[in-house]
Structure 1
Amino acid sequence: MKSVNQEQLLRNLEDTVERHIEEAVSVFQNLPEGDLLRQAANGGWSIAACLAHLNSYGDYYLPRIKAGTKCQKGMPVDATFRSSCIGRLFIHMMDPARGYKKYKAIAAHIPPANLDAYAVVREFIKQQEELLLCLRSCQDINLSSIQIPASFLSWVHLKLGDVLQFLVAHNQRHLVQARRNISEPMACNSGQP
Structure 2
Amino acid sequence: MKPVNKAELLRNLEDRVEEHISEAIALFQNLSNADLNKPSPTGGWSIAQCLDHLNSYGDFYLPHIEKNLLHAADGNTSEFKSSWFGAYFTNMMDPETGKKKYKAMTGHIPASDLNGPKVVGEFLRQQEALMDYIRKARNKDLGEINIPISISKLIRLRLGDVFQFLIAHNERHMQQAKRNLMGAKAAKIG
Q: Give 2:80's aligned residue.
A: 81
Unpaired runs of 5+ residues, structure 1, are 187-193
Q: How far has the Cα of 1:77 moved from its partner?
A: 2.5
Deviation at 1:72, TM superposition (A): 1.3
Give the match for residue 189 of structure 1.
none
Q: What does the per-residue CA deviation read over 1:31-59, in whole Å, with 9 as the maximum and x for residues that have no partner?
A: 22222101111211000000000000000
Q: In the alignment, is the contact (CA less than 8 A) between 2:40 and 2:183 conserved in 1?
A: no
Aligned residue for 1:23?
23
Aligned to 1:65: 65
Taking the aligned partners of 2:40 and 2:131, their CA distance within structure 1 comes to 29
**Distance across 1 between alignment mates of 2:105 and 2:151:** 7
Q: Deviations over 1:56-77 (max 9, x none)?
A: 000000000010111114x333
Give the letter aligned to residue 175 of structure 2: V
In the alignment, structure 2 segments of 5+ residues that lack a partner are 186-190
Matches within 5 A, 1:26-65: 26-65=26-65
Distance 2:146 2:75 in 1: 16
User: What is the TM-score normalised by the length of structure 1?
Assistant: 0.92
- The alpha-carbon deviation at position 184 of structure 1 amounts to 6.9
Deviating beyond 2 angstroms after TM superposition, the runs of 4 or more aligned structure 1 residues are 183-186
Q: Which residue of 2 aligns with 1:116?
A: 115
Normalized against structure 2, the TM-score is what? 0.93
Structure-to-structure mapping, 1:1-193, within 5 angstroms? 1-73=1-73, 75-183=74-182
> Could you tell which deviates more after superposition, 10-19 or 38-47?
38-47
2:183, 2:52 → 1: CA distance?
22
- Between the two proteins, what is the percent identity of the paired residues? 50
